[in-house]
Amino acid sequence: MIEHLIPILAGTLGAAVPLIFAGLGELVAERTGVINLGVEGMMLVGAIAGFAAAAESGYGVTAGLPAGALAGAATAMIFGFFALSLAANQAACGLALTIFGIGLSAFIGQHYVAYSLPGLKPIAIPLLSDIPLLGPILFKQDWVVYLSFLAFAGIAWTLAKTRLGLLLKAIGESPESAHAIGYPVISIRFGAVAFGGAMAGIAGAYLSTVYTPLWVQNMSAGRGWIAVALVVFASWKPARLMLGAYLFGAVTILQFHAQGLGIMVPVQFLAALPYVATIVVLVVISRDRRVLQNNLPASLGKPFLP
């Protein structure tokens, strides 16, 4: 059992990375009152852009992640134009972005189906990685995993302790008041949406250049939607989002270890676990309306025209 436990827990951290980046990005956008259901599409565009950049430049992941971030932010701007500048229905615009992103990424990805990338080697942090049990789990990971810790810390701190965080939350609670005081609500929301797109793009690029590392059409397989559900599960709090992402990382990684653990279930049933878990988690969190109501950004999903 214990010989399985360390690889499972260590793998969980990697499997959670796409959910952490995509989820944190969506969390920031939703805190400003914008719900972008296009995470899946932005992730896929980020995945192919990252993969293409990594393959063509020869710099691998170092080029792939920034390219994914840029591509994710750029596709988020399309959403921004329709949902923010024109104040169209946000949920439907997000859906359009997902359909568009699936198509666009498959279109570009046509040229990259046969490629494979080297991926990333884990970096063992001196001393810390020697701690029994915790060391190999936490401190023998690739650098993007460490980056995900930093992203969490940065976002949690910004939201809780800085003026910027306060402003973002204020806009999410009452765009009218923020506008009346003189803040450019639409521009700030644009910024938050672009940030969300960049984070989703990084999540996608991690999948295609590190986690898999291959380009496969539709490879995010619903992770973007799971990230959206995680934000609800987290009741818009970064720390709970991390918890949720690791929970889902564990569920995802379990299917690769099931046979070793002696679980004889068809692969498709194991592959369905994350989706079923998402439903269960949504049910659990939504059951108590007060928890949702108390944390829900008051203007979430409502179009705003100054």
Partner 1 sequence: MHLLEPRPHPSRVMRWTAPLIAVAATLLTGSFLFWTLGKPVLTSFHVFFIQPLETGYGWSELLIKACPLILIAQGLAIGFKARIYNIGAEGQLIVGALFGGGVAITTEGMDAAWIVPAMVVAGAIGGALWGAIPALLRTRFNASETLTTLMLSYVASLILAYMVNGPWRDPEGMNFPQSIMFGDSALFSILLEGSRVNTSLFITLAAVLLFWIFNAKSFMHFQIEVGGLAPAASHYAGFSAKQTVWFCLVMSGLTAGIAGVGEIAGPVGQLNLNISPGYGFAAIIVAYLGRLHALGIVLAGFLMALIYLGGEAAQVSLQMPYAITGIFQGMLLFFLLGSDVFIDNRIRRLV
Interface residues toward partner 1, by CB under 8 A: 37, 41, 78, 82, 86-89, 91-93, 95-107, 109-110, 186, 217, 221-222, 225-226, 228-229, 232, 266, 268-269, 271-272, 275-276, 278-279, 282-283, 286-287, 289, 292, 305-306
Q: Which H or E run contains 123?
A: strand 123-124
Name the CA radius of gyration of the chain, rounded. Answer: 19
Closest separation between CB of residue 156 and partner 1, Å?
24
Alpha-carbon distance of 306 to 301, in angstroms, equals 15
The backbone torsions φ and ψ at residue 141, rounded to the nearest 5 degrees and listed phi first, read -125, 170
For residue 241, the surrounding DSSP H or E stretch is helix 238-257
Query: Which residue, 268 or 294, has its beta carbon nearer to partner 1?
Result: 268
Query: 1 vs 264, which CB is nearer to partner 1?
Result: 264
Q: Decide whether 219 or 228 has the Cβ nearer to partner 1.
A: 228
- Least spacing, CB of residue 220 vs partner 1, in Å: 11
Which residues are within 8 A (CB) of 22 and not within 5 positions of it... i.e. 6 or more apart?
39, 43, 199, 200, 203, 204, 223, 224, 227
* Identity of the residue, 103 or 154, whose beta carbon is nearer to partner 1 in the bound complex: 103
Q: Toward partner 1, which CB reaches closer, 86 or 298?
A: 86
Distance CA 267, CA 89 (A): 38
Question: What is the DSSP secondary-structure string of 251-270?
Answer: HHHHHHHTTTTT----HHHH
Question: How many angstroms separate the first and last alpha carbons of the chain?
Answer: 59
Closest CA to 33 of 231, 189, 241: 189
User: Shortest gap between Cβ of 227 and partner 1 (angstroms)?
Assistant: 11
* Between 210 and 251, CB nearer to partner 1: 251
Sign of the dihedral defined by the CA atoms of residues 56, 58, 59, 64, in that order = positive
- C-alpha span between 126 and 35 (Å, rounded): 41
Least distance to partner 1, CB of residue 104, Å? 6
Closest approach, Cβ 75 to partner 1, in A, equals: 10
State the nearest-atom distance from the C-beta of 111 to partner 1, in Å: 9
